[in-house]
């Protein structure tokens, strides 16, 4: 799908970047809305949008493809409130990192045949329109999760990401997506935040952090409100992963207590070999 008109609800780093990239790709009409007036003004002035109406409903009824680019809970609310105003021919997607809830909401609202969720793997710790850029999705993997009866819509949405944004779409069931992201994205966020939480209370006065600690805690700087929503929405998938960390951590504790060099070496080697394997040619992290 290469729409003549695109609507984006939410103009932060993701929504703003999508607007910039769509205009750069030649989409004739890109409309956007944000609850922040300054973001709407900036997006129009910088050429990312053709128009940014004050009322969100003015976007919904005028586009062929509608993208919900607000935080996950806000996307659920927007879809619920605006469903009756969405034009019958309009296809709908979102860009959140938890998919089961939004897919189920679309189905419950009778939009299943016209909805397919999206999740671009373009993690960014900065927020707001000022953090957007025109190449954010180029070369990125984007998961596309169909709703019931929405296989055709999923193909159209996948084509949009590929043809307009230069991304690599992968169609995936919503439940499989959430189970996978719990391990590959949500758990790393928790681990990084855990280390940041610990260092905030235990870092000696005047101590400096080396690149290792800075790199490991990079995700801890992510927006807490957004990640609270993500973790709560996907908690049934995240909790087993968190609990699974207890066994290997305990294994290392026991090896250190015993002064067992071979067990410590084996513990570290497993992680080292896995991580080095990601850098081999043909392996995508």
Cβ(2)–Cβ(159) under 8 Å?
yes
123 burial level (CB within 10 Å; 0-12, 13-18, 19+):
middle
Instruction: Write the DSSP assignment of 30-91 as a string of letters.
Output: EEEE-SSHHHHHHHHHTTS-SB--SSTHHHHTT-SEEEE-S-HHHHHHHHHHHGGGS-TT-E
Sequence-ordered list of residues with C-beta below 8 angstroms from that of 1, at least 6 positions apart, any chain: 64, 65, 91, 156, 157, 159, 160, 163
Q: Are 166 and 20 in contact (CB under 8 A)?
A: no
pLDDT of residue 253: 98
Tell me what pLDDT residue 285 has: 45
Cα–Cα distances (Å) from 166 to 46, 54, 74, in that order, read 22, 30, 27
Each residue's pLDDT, cut to its tens digit, for the chain (285 residues) gives 899 999 999 999 999 999 999 999 999 999 999 999 999 999 999 999 999 999 999 999 999 999 999 999 999 999 999 999 999 999 999 999 999 999 999 999 999 999 999 999 997 767 889 999 999 999 999 999 999 999 999 999 999 999 999 999 999 999 999 999 999 999 999 999 999 999 999 999 889 999 999 999 999 999 999 999 999 999 999 999 999 999 999 999 999 999 999 999 999 999 999 999 998 765 454
Can you tell me the distance from the alpha carbon of 110 to that of 239, in angstroms, rounded to the nearest whole number?
Answer: 31
What was the pLDDT predicted at 28?
A: 97
Question: How far is it, in rounded angstroms, from Cα 285 to Cα 276?
Answer: 10
Contact 200, 220 (CB under 8 A): no
- C-alpha 141/C-alpha 166 separation (Å) is 10
Could you tell me the CA-to-CA distances from 282 to 57, 122, 139, 166 in Å, in that order?
Answer: 45, 20, 15, 20
Other CB atoms within a 10 A radius of the CB of residue 236 amount to 11
- Using CA atoms, how far residue 61 sits from 23, 90, 140, in Å, is 20, 8, 29
Q: How far apart are the C-alpha atoms of 221 and 153, rounded to whole Å?
A: 35
pLDDT of residue 127: 81
Cα separation of the two ends of the chain: 28
């Amino acid at each position: 799908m290469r729409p003549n008109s695109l609507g984006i609800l939410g103009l932060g780093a993701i929504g703003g970047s999508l607007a910039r990239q769509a205009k750069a790709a030649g989409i004739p009409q890109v409309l956007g809305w944000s609850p922040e007036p300054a973001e709407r003004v900036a997006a129009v002035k910088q050429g990312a949008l053709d128009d940014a109406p004050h009322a969100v409903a003015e976007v919904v009824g005028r586009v062929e493809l509608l993208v919900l680019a607000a935080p996950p809970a806000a996307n659920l609310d927007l879809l619920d409130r605006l469903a009756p105003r969405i034009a019958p021919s309009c296809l709908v997607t979102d860009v959140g990192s938890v998919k089961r809830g939004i897919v189920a909401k679309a189905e419950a609202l009778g939009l299943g045949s016209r909805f397919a969720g999206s999740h671009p793997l373009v993690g960014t710790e900065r927020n707001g329109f000022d953090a957007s850029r025109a190449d954010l999705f180029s070369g990125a993997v984007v998961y596309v999760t169909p709703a019931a009866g929405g296989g055709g819509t999923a193909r159209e949405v996948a084509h949009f990401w590929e043809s307009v944004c230069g991304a690599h779409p992968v169609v995936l069931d919503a439940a499989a997506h959430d189970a996978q992201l719990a391990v590959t994205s949500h758990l790393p966020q928790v681990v990084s935040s855990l280390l940041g939480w610990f260092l905030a209370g235990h870092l000696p006065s005047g101590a400096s952090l080396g690149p290792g600690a800075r790199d490991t805690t990079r995700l801890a700087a992510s927006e807490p409100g957004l990640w609270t929503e993500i973790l709560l929405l996907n908690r049934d998938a995240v909790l087993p992963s968190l609990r699974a960390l207890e066994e290997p951590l305990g294994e290392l504790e026991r090896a250190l207590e015993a002064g067992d060099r071979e067990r410590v070496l084996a513990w570290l080697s497993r992680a080292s070999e896995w991580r080095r394997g990601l850098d081999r040619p043909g392996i995508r992290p």
